[in-house]
Amino acid sequence: MTLSISQVTKKYQDFVAVNSLSFTIEKGEIFGLIGQNGAGKTTTFRMILDLQETTEGSIMWNGQHINSINRDILGYLPEERGIFPAMTVEDQLYFFGELRGKLKKDLKKEVDYWIDRFELDDKRKAKAETLSKGNQQKVQLIASFIHQPEFLILDEPFSGLDPVNMDLLKSAILDLKHKGTTILFSSHQMDNVEELCDHLCLLKRGVSLFTGSLLDLKKQYGKTKLTIRTEIPKEVLAGLHGVRDVQTGRDQYTLTLEDESYAQPIFDYVSNGKYIEKFSLDYLSLDEIFKDKVGAKHV
């Protein structure tokens, strides 16, 4: 089962929200759609869900136009809260499952499983309005896939979650992937995208700046992030040939290099033929690449 977006454009009068966007997501893949606020992510989600029409281009699921498929194969977690405040957690999940064509008796096993897994058993009979923001987010997440969709869209799924609950969510997302669910998600927390995604699309003002694997994106920059532990002063390191920037950590420095070819001469200088405790060359993080790609200097 493949989702294929081909040359999709969405215009609102003179404003172009999405411009000639193309990417493909394979079955059982986690695909990240990232960008600043207003980049066109939610508009893209709504077009995939057939909540908005495309101005140009096509969106296909397994060779069928997206507006002709059974909607029950789709799941969606919106960024905004979409649960009922006065309804209990348990009733909420049954309601959304039945809304997607499932029988209540067939939902019981799934409802019980996810309530237990997301540590909500003591909240089963509680109204949603009495829950913390994090627990509301967990309920909404379960509601998005309680009907076992083939394709799942998660818009900022980590919003309001503490680190422990974030790990619960990551584990659930990976389990869904391993069971064959195709997942498209967005997040402003780049470490989560980096940890979970097989491929990604980086949007800026509705235009794709990059589509492909995370490793291919990192290779565009090369290994330019150098972490070292040394007693050499920061000012001296900053003056070395090929060093663009130096950041001071608790007990180490992080240097940004012009390219990785400068690492060897810097190593020779810093070590001076002796043992050096830490010298690590790596790719930039997705967060660093994201800031470079969509940062102010590119506006």
Same domain? For 130 and 77 the reply is yes
Residue 293 lies in a domain: no
Any domain includes 132: yes
The pLDDT assigned to 295 comes to 76
Pair 227, 188 in one domain = no
Element (H, E) at 117: helix 104-117
What is the number of structural domains in the chain?
2
Give pLDDT, residue 299. Answer: 36
User: Both 157 and 249 in a single domain?
Assistant: no
Whole-angstrom Cα distance, residue 27 to residue 1?
Answer: 5
Residue 297 domain-assigned (yes or no)? no
* Residue at 61 is within a domain: yes
Q: What is the reported pLDDT for 79? A: 86
Same domain, 48 and 125: yes
Instruction: Dump pLDDT digits (tens) for 57-83.
Output: 999 999 999 989 998 999 999 988 788
> Do 142 and 239 sit in the same domain of this protein?
no
d(CA 2, CA 13): 31
pTM (predicted TM-score): 0.89
Residues 271 and 151 in one domain: no
- Whether residue 150 is contained in a domain is answered as yes
Q: What is the sign of the dihedral through the CA atoms of 130, 135, 136 and 139? A: negative
Helices (H) and strands (E) in the chain, counts: 10, 14
Q: Are residues 76 and 130 in the same domain?
A: yes
Judgement on whether residues 46 and 126 belong to the same structural domain of the protein: yes
Mark whether 101 and 120 lie in a shared domain. Answer: yes
Q: Is there a single domain that holds both residue 74 and residue 156? A: yes
- In this structure, are 135 and 207 located in the same domain? yes
Residue 288 lies in a domain: no
pLDDT at 297: 47
Q: Residue 64 falls within a domain, yes or no? A: yes
Q: Which amino acid is residue 167, in one-letter code?
A: D
Whether residue 187 is found in the same domain as residue 237: no
- Specify whether the CB–CB gap between 226 and 264 falls below 8 A: no
- Identify the pLDDT of residue 81: 76
Whether 21 is in a domain gets the answer: yes
Query: At which of 193, 213, 233 does a domain end?
Result: 213
* CATH number of 186's domain: 3.40.50.300
Q: What is the CATH number of the domain that holds 277?
A: 3.30.70
Hey, is 176 helix, strand or coil?
A: helix
Measured distance CA(165)–CA(159) in Å, rounded: 11
Domain hosting residue 248, numbered range = 223-282
Residues in the chain where the model's pLDDT stays below 50: 297-299
Residue 6: name the closest of 31, 19, 29, 23 by CA: 23
